[in-house]
Structures are given as C-alpha cells and as structure tokens.
Homo-oligomer: A and B are copies of this chain.
Amino acid sequence: MTGQAADASHRPRTPLSRQRVLSAAVALADEGGVDALSMRRIAQALGVVPMALYKHVANKDELLDGMIDAVVGEIDPPVADAGWKTAVRLRVLSARRMLLRHPWASGVIEARMKARTAPTPTVMAYLDSMIGLFRAGGFSLDLVHHAMHVMGSRLLGFSQELFDDTSDREPDPDALPPEEMAARFPHITALAMAVAHDEGSVVGSGCDDQSEFEFALDLTLDGLERLHAAAH
C-alpha cells in the first residue's frame, strides 16, 4: 500500500504550468459555460488541489485575463495584399468564429472591459491591428475612430442572440400559448412566422445566423466606405 503510494507519488504527472492551467480553464468554460468555471473544478480537472493553481495564476481575475488572451490569440492575423475592406471583413469573421468556439468569451471580455484598469495586451494588439487595417486603407484618424466605435457598438443595448431560434430549446413549460403570443407581440410573431416559412431551411428555424451577421457587417462596411469616399 505504502509502496503503491510511493509509486503513485512519482507518477509522471506533467508538472503543471500556467499554460496547462489556462487550457484546462478554457476547456472547462467551453463546455458548461462560464459559471461552471471554478478554481476548485479546474484543480480537480488537473488532478491537483485548488491552491496549487495559485502558484501559476495570481487569482481568478488574472486567470480570466489569461483565458481572454489565449482565445483572442486564436484570431487569424490580417491577410496581406488585400483592400482594407476585405481585410477587415476577414478579420471580423475570424473573430466571430473564435467567439462561436468559445461562447463564454464575449461576455467575459465585455465584463472585464467595463470597469478595469486596462485591456490585456493581446486585446490591445487586436484592436491596434484592426485600426492599422483602416489606416492602411487611407482612412483619416478621425474616421477610423468613428469606425472603431461603430464596430463595437450594440445599438439595441443587447445583442442578437435574442429570438434567433425559437426552436431547439425544449418546449419551455410556461411559454405563452401561440394565440396570446400573437395578440401581445403581433410584430414578433409575424416576423417569426415569415422567417419560418421562408426557404424552409432544414434545421427548423429559417434564420441563418451567419448570413445575418455578414449582412450587418457588410451594411456597416458599405456605410464606412461611402463616408471614406465622400471625404475624398
């Protein structure tokens, strides 16, 4: 028994490191969302006692920063040899793919931005290079400034994942009956019906999130292009 314990003690346990902690944390958040993420659970996943993590990250905040850095680092670098418009477009779409891979990320990044000292360097680098793309396209500093604000703003106050699907979620016990739904929210239901009957995409909801996103992106880029052209 003690012999086996000794055996187990120098089991080739890879020795833990900031990278390993961060990866485990990201993995845990990817499946199970951000509130399935606790120091204790990360430690458990790594087969280690909770406090061991603190030898590699200062605290949970700093761990979240590290996770952000990790996933923002996944965004593809800008393509060379392309107009500003396609360069920005590709970059934003790559960022979006990252955010779909790590659904917790957008919320965490946003929360971290709200009242913190400074964004992490990796985020800064992302923003910097995005600005660089506009500048390379000949945008004035002023217009770039506006552009960055436009691309970061959420006009409705919250984002689109609002009524995207209407399907997939399980029936939802206390949902309103359709007739009352139609009575109280006529426009929403009209829209939902129209979208549903439209094109009959096999997956159920006829609303293709990706193309909606690209629609918004292109509308914005077109608008910026027009302003850029108007400024000679």
Contact = CB atoms under 8 A, between A and B. Distances in A.
Interface residues of A, number: 75
Interface in A100-159: 103, 105-107, 109-111, 113-115, 117-119, 121, 124-125, 127-132, 135, 141-142, 144-146, 148-159
Contacts of A144: 187, 191
B113 A162 contact: yes
A113 B142 CA distance: 34
Interface string A144-187: 11101111111111111111000001001001000000001111
Contacts of A212: 145-146, 149, 153
A1 interface: no
Contact of A152 (B95, B158, B188): B158
Interface string A187-205: 1101100110010000000
Interface stretch (A6-14, A17-25, A48-56, A222-230): A222-230
A161 B149 CA distance: 9
Contact of A113 (B98, B155, B158): B158
A120 to B, nearest CB: 12
Most B-side CB within 10 Å, residue of A119, A156, A161, A212:
A156
Contact of A191 (B99, B141, B155, B188): B141
A67 to B, nearest CB: 14
Given A151-B156, A160-B152, A162-B152, A220 B223 contact: yes
Contacts of A92: 155-156
B128 A186 contact: yes
B121 A162 contact: no
B152 A159 contact: yes
A163 B127 contact: yes
Given A106-B157, A118-B175, A154-B152, A188 B131 contact: yes
Given A151-B156, A219-B223, 10 more contacts: A124-B184, A128-B184, A131-B188, A141-B191, A146-B216, A149-B216, A150-B220, A152-B159, A153-B160, A219-B224
